[in-house]
Structure 1
Amino acid sequence: MSENDPLLNDPLLEAPKPRWRRWLPSVSRGRLLRWALRAFLALLVIAALYYPVGMLVVHRIDDDPNFQAPATPEGASRAVAIAAALIDREVGQHGWPSNDPFFMPGWALDNMPNYQQGIVSALSRFVQEMRDQISRVRATSQADPDLEKAAGQLSYSPTVWIFDFSTSWAPTASSEQQYLAAARLLKNFNDRLSRGQAVFERRADNLQATLDRIGADLGSASAVLDKQVEEHSGDWVDFQADDIFYATKGRLYAYGLLLRELEIDFAQVIAERDLKAAWDQMVQSFEVAASLKPLVVVNGRPDAFLRPSHLAAQGFFLLRARTQLLEISNILQK
């Protein structure tokens, strides 16, 4: 047969197209390859931008010293109200990236999670003191049920998502669920307190015990700062410095707000001991300590010329606030 034979050019004799090509538009192989290449490049760009852009959207360090809780009913505790409001703000409004899985951009954050965990740690200490001391008529009386549950929930691990494979393969309560439940319990306690169905002993010894517990926690935080400065201030890069800095910042911020509201809860005691000026100065010191916000946290040597020591600076303000707190505690003891 010759090339011009009509049988060779008969379209009915052409090899059938693959089934997947029958459903595609009639386009050339080259155009299909260009489309595939463009789609692949688009996916690469999206993947490259997903974490950086997502991190910028999620990241937030909210250290507003003027943050206020919603209006509380008469007879309720302002300190308990600010504790519940902080949980609602940090967990319910800002989100909780500490337990984000790897496919969410918050998983790559570290400063915000450490800051929020520092806040919750301080609130957990305060609620424990409420349960053990302030909400009891005497040490042998029964603990308040709302505060008992709230203290346990605030002690929950901050990194639990839907699953916690270290304990079970079954779905479990997330960190957010536990903390928001604690906030609801604190609000319920305040409602009961305003109706005279709960106890809030506004005595000098209770206030002193609360200050002592806060002082002990700050002493522990100071020791962590000191150890990091002593062991790693000579390192050119310290990947743990920012974690410690922001966890401490969260503690200082939460304690500053709690102490500001405790001044109102214990107004009579503070007035009787003539502590208002000293108390206001202490709260201001906490605000200053919590307001530090370096662009990059550097753990340089304390006597360095070029590289600052942000941990040492934070430790100075922390100890200043703690010293004022302990001075007030000593006055209350007399």
Structure 2
Amino acid sequence: MYQDLIPQPPTLMRRRRVSLRARIFGTGLLSVTKRSTLMLTIAFGLYFGVAGSMMNRIDADPSFTPPTPIEGGSRAVDMAAALIERETITHRWSPNDPFFYPTAFHINMPSFQSGMMRGVGRFTLELETQIGRLRGSGAIDNDLERAAGLLQFPPDVWLFDLNQSLLPVQPADAQYRAAHAALINYNQRVARGEAVFETRSDALVMTVDRIATDLGSRAARLDALVDTDPFIINFTSNRMLYFNKGMSYAFYLLLRELGEDYQSVIAAHGLERVWAQAIDSLRRASQLQPRVVLNGSGANSIVANHLQLQGFYLKRAVLQLDEISRVVRATR
């Protein structure tokens, strides 16, 4: 008790003061570090989690129609242009978001939009090579040639593409907006009778065949992934399902409107029912949106396999489109 009242040697007193300051300083520094780490974690979660989720939008509305259709033009071309406008302007193009954007860690919307643009690009190629040429062998329409070329641009190119140049480049969404303008110009000329939009049965058959080939290729890739991927939940499955969802959605809307453009051809071959079934299969493939994409091991697994379900609808659409092609070829 009386020991603290006894004068201490100066050296011991200095050591105690230094030790006390070290403990106070160390405790304060640790507290600041913890608070800073916590604040950074919260900010990171709000920026990439909350803000990114709010910007993440997958619009697969099956009732979507072009807001400003061109009277007298092709309904399918109107739809192609409207999808480009909606995804690059109204909703914001996300596949080329750089790493510091809030959506950098979101993969569903970029995959969906990339798949959609794949479908629109395929249809535009058929416009250029078949539907937009007189008898399929006339001169290629300049607007369609421009649009088809622009829509082949990689969807993930931002302001810089180091594979091409160290200088800034036109981003993917700018290229697609230019394609949108070319499609609008083409359809306006169709409405005025200044451009070709062939409604021949062979043009329809060629277009349907190319779309069926694309869908069959995607279904085969689904089968390969299901057979080889041992993980029930993974990013690859998510990307593939949403890419196929976007492509199926684009083809569903485009074929729905193309059916109106080719209504007389479809009716002449008695294909109204199978045409409706084909676009319904694509609609079903496009409407899959599970909370978590599961890649179960097979029919005997207790875990679902959403890729197989999507593959079923894709294959059914392929069979129905093949039937349309076969019937038209047989009765021409």
TM-score by length of structure 2 reads 0.86
8 Å contact 1:99–1:107 — kept in the other structure?
no
Aligned to 1:116: 113
Match of 1:298 among 278, 294, 307: 294
Aligned-partner Cα distance in 1 for 2:188–2:163: 37
Give CA-to-partner distance per residue, 1:12-35, whole Å, 9 cap, x none: xxxxxxxxxxxxxxxxxxx9x999
SS in structure 2 opposite 1:108?
Answer: coil
Over the aligned positions, Cα root-mean-square deviation in angstroms equals 2.1
User: 1:149 aligned to 2:149?
Assistant: no
The alpha-carbon deviation at position 47 of structure 1 amounts to: 2.5
Consecutive unaligned residues of structure 1, counting only runs of 5 or more, are 1-30
The AA in structure 1 aligned to 2:236 is Q
Q: Deviations over 1:235-290 (max 9, x none)?
A: 34433111111111111111010110011101111121122222122211211121
Q: Which residue of 1 aligns with 2:202?
A: 205
- Structure-2 residue corresponding to 1:220: 217
Q: Which of 153, 156, 161 is equivalent to 2:158?
A: 161
Aligned AA for 1:298?
A: L
Question: Does the Cα contact within 8 Å between 1:259 and 1:283 map onto a contact in 2?
Answer: yes
Q: Counterparts of 1:70-81 in structure 2 under 5 Å? A: 70-81=67-78
Does residue 88 of structure 1 match 2:85? yes
- In 1, Cα distance between the equivalents of 2:319 and 2:285? 13
**Amino acid paired to 1:238:** N
Query: Matches of 1:113 and 1:188 in 2, distance apart?
Result: 28
Distance 1:38 1:236, change over 3 A: closer
Q: What is the Cα deviation at residue 88 of structure 1?
A: 0.9
Q: Structure 1 residue 313 and structure 2 residue 309: aligned?
A: yes
**Structure 2 alignment gaps of length 5 or more:** 1-27
Q: Which runs of 4+ in 1 moved over 6 A?
A: 33-40
CA deviations 1:172-230 (Å, max 9, x no partner) are 10011001111111111110110111100100000010000000001110111010011
Partner of 1:53: 50
Give the CA deviation at 1:165.
1.3
For 1:147, the aligned partner's letter is: L
Q: Give me the identity figure in percent.
A: 43
User: In 1, distance between residues paired with 2:217 and 2:252?
Assistant: 17
2:276 aligned with 1:285, yes or no?
no
Deviation at 1:97, TM superposition (A): 1.6
TM-superposed CA distance for 1:325, in Å, is 1.1
Instruction: Say whether 1:184 aligns with 2:181.
Output: yes
CA contact (8 A) 2:232 2:297 kept: no
Aligned counterpart in structure 2 of residue 138 of structure 1, from 135, 138, 150: 135
Cα deviation, residue 71, structure 1: 4.1
Q: CA deviation at 1:316?
A: 0.7
Instruction: Report how many residues are paired.
Output: 304
Asked if 1:268 corresponds to 2:236, the answer is no
Match of 1:325 among 306, 321, 324: 321
**Aligned partner letter, 1:309:** N
C-alpha distance in 2, partners of 1:61/1:75?
A: 31
Which residue identity lines up with residue 127 of structure 1 in the other structure?
Answer: T
Q: Distance in 1 between matches of 2:68 and 2:273?
A: 25
Which residue does 1:18 correspond to in 2?
Answer: none
2:228 counterpart of 1:231 = yes
Given that 2:233 and 2:293 are in contact with CA atoms closer than 8 Å, whether structure 1 keeps it comes out as no
Distance 2:67 2:232 in 1: 46
CA distance in 2, matches of 1:285, 1:219: 13
Judge conservation of contact 2:53–2:103 (CA < 8 Å) in 1. Answer: no
TM-score between both structures, scaled by the size of structure 1: 0.86
Amino acid at match of 2:303: R
- For residue 76 of structure 1, give the secondary structure of its aligned residue in structure 2: coil
The verdict on how the C-alpha distance between 1:239 and 1:70 changes in structure 2, with shifts beyond 3 A counting, is closer
Whether the aligned pair in 1 keeps the contact of 2:281 and 2:313 (CA below 8 Å) is: yes
